[in-house]
Structure 1
Amino acid sequence: MIRLCDVHKSFGGNHVLRGVDLGVERGQSMVIIGGSGTGKSVVLKCILGLIRPDAGRIEVDGRDVTQGDRDDFLAKFGMLFQGAALFDSLPVWQNVAFRLLRGRGKRPRAEAREIAVEKLRRVGLGPEVADLLPAELSGGMQKRVGLARAIAADPAIIFFDEPTTGLDPIMAGVINELIREIVAEMGATTVTITHDMTSVRAIADRVAMLHRGKIRWTGPVEEMDAARDPYVDQFISGRAEGPIETLR
């Protein structure tokens, strides 16, 4: 479903991606791990076409991401942003239905609201939440609204950017469980970037370790702990000592 071949990207003298090769099968949950500043978010932006790679090729569903109609291409995607990234001035249901109220796939307002309420129900929020503003919700509820928005248009591909950041361990577990259930129901292809190893173990089918602009290791999540790569071992164990440089 998603294929990156020898992808490079630099910003001035900062070489962020140095030849990334990665494949994500249809219906698979891929989680990309790695330290801050290793280029995880840049990978997502390159797949979406928000950033053009300096070299290499990226295909989504067999199509070069730089070719064809952008609206049709982006319609394949849903996104759960870090921090939920809700629109403060819009009520919850309009946040969820944001895509449904705009563009080529625009739905009648009443229909869009009905879909939004159903997606809110799917993430555990009742219809009474629909007309509230984001500021009236807890952090965990805001994250659920962000998840409802990500699935509102039934996308084929969903990106999750640090889905449990800022949540307590119990709410993080709830979000992880919701993500796993919803992705399985939809049959969506997903790519998640996270530092949270609990999330990795909860939602991943496969894991890729990105370090210094290259994929150091990739494999099934159940093989991660036995991986003999020293970068993976240091990262998942959280040790200060190892090949990954740390500030002291």
Structure 2
Amino acid sequence: MITLTGVQKSFGANRVLAGVNLTIPSGQSMVIIGGSGTGKSVLLKCILGLVRPDGGQITLDGQDVTKADRDAFLARFGMLFQGGALFDSLRVWENVAFRLLRGAKALPKADAREIAIGKLRRVGLKPEVADLFPAELSGGMQKRVGLARAIAAEPEIIFFDEPTTGLDPIMAGVINELIREIVVEMGATAMTITHDMSSVRAIADRVAMLHAGVIQWTGPVSELDATPDPYVQQFIHGRATGPIASVR
């Protein structure tokens, strides 16, 4: 569904993406791993058109994303942000229904609220939560609200940016399980950025490792542990020494 060919991006003298080649198949869950500052978020922003690559091409269903109608293009995506990114001044249901209440196809408030409550139930939150404000929720509940918002408009493609950051291991496991269930139920194409190897194993169909501006390795999650690639092995086992440390 999404193809990246020779994608490059620099910020001044800092070359972040040095020719990324990657294919994300339709209906599959791709997880991007790699150290901090390796360009994972920049890659995601390039796909969404928030950052324009310096070179290469990104296509969605064969269409160059830079030439697509922006509203129609972005309508195909849902996004779970790393920090939740909920609007403090809006009630929970209004956060979940944010997209549904705007644009040419905006729904009446009553209909949008009903859909929002249904999505909140899907992520394990009771209807009473709908009228609370984000500040009244725990971190885990806020993450669930963010997930409900990401799926509210039934997107074809969902991006997850560090979905378990800041959560305890039990809640991280709950979020991972929810993400996997929802992606399978919706038949969505998913792309996740994470450092959390438990998330990788729970969410991924395929894994790609971004290092030094290129995809160092990619393959099915079932082959992750067995690959002899020294970069992957150092990263997944958290070793202090290895090829990644040697270039820092």
The reply on whether 1:203 has 2:203 as its aligned counterpart is: yes
Match of 1:235 in 2: 235
Deviation of 1:62 (Å): 1.6
Aligned residues: CA RMSD: 1.1
| Pair 1:154-2:159 in alignment | no
The unaligned stretches of length 5 or more in structure 1 are none
Hey, what does 1:123 align to over in structure 2?
123
CA-CA distance at 1:63 after TM superposition: 1.1
- CA offset at residue 61 of structure 1? 1.7
**Which residue identity is paired with 2:183?**
V
State the 4+ residue runs in structure 1 displaced beyond 3 angstroms: none
- Which AA in structure 1 matches 2:105? G
Residue 57 (structure 1) aligns with = 57
* DSSP-derived class of the 1:7 partner: strand
CA distance in 1, matches of 2:65, 2:104: 20
- Matched with 2:213 is 213
What pairs up with 1:3-22 in 2 under 5 angstroms? 3-22=3-22
- Listed as ranges, the gaps of 5+ residues in structure 2 are none
Render the CA deviation track for 1:34-90: whole Å, top value 9, x for unaligned. Answer: 000000000100000011100000001221100131000000000000011100000
Spell out the pairing of 1:124-203 with structure 2 (5 A cutoff).
124-203=124-203
Q: Secondary structure at the residue paired with 2:216? A: strand
Q: Does 1:44 align with 2:44?
A: yes
Q: Mark the CA change 1:125 to 1:246 in structure 2 (over 3 Å): closer, same or farther.
A: farther
Contact 1:40 1:193 in 2 (8 A): yes
Residues 134-170 of structure 1: CA deviation (Å, up to 9, x unaligned): 0000000000000000000000000000000000000
User: How many correspondences in the alignment?
Assistant: 248
- Give the structure-1-normalised TM-score: 0.98
CA distance in 2, matches of 1:126, 1:36: 36
Indicate if the aligned counterparts of 1:3 and 1:59 stay in contact, CA closer than 8 A: yes
What is the CA–CA distance in structure 2 between the aligned matches of 1:83 and 1:68, rounded to whole Å? Answer: 28
Maintained 8 Å contact 1:9/1:17:
yes
Change (3 A) 1:170 1:247: farther
What amino acid maps onto 1:26 in structure 2?
S
For residues 79-98 of structure 1, what are the structure 2 equivalents within 5 Å?
79-98=79-98
3-state SS of the aligned residue for 1:202? Answer: helix
Q: Map residues 69-108 of structure 1 onto 2, 5 A cutoff.
A: 69-108=69-108
Q: Name the SS of the counterpart of 2:38 in structure 1.
A: coil
For 1:126, the aligned partner's letter is K
Amino acid of the residue matched to residue 56 of structure 1? G
Contact 1:234 1:241 in 2 (8 A): yes
Give the C-alpha shift of residue 247 in structure 1: 10
The 3-state SS of whatever aligns with 1:244 is helix
- CA drift of 1:245 comes to 2.1
CA shift at 1:246, angstroms? 7.2
2 CA distance for matches of 1:41 and 1:69? 23
Following the alignment from structure 2 to structure 1, what is the Cα–Cα distance between the partners of residues 53 and 86? 29
In the TM superposition, what is the alpha-carbon distance from 1:133 to its structure 2 partner?
0.2
Kept in 2: contact 1:30–1:207 (CA 8 A): yes
Q: Which amino acid aligns with 2:125?
A: L
Q: Return the letter of the residue paired with 2:127.
A: P
| Residue pair 1:240, 1:246 contacting (<8 A) in 2 also | no
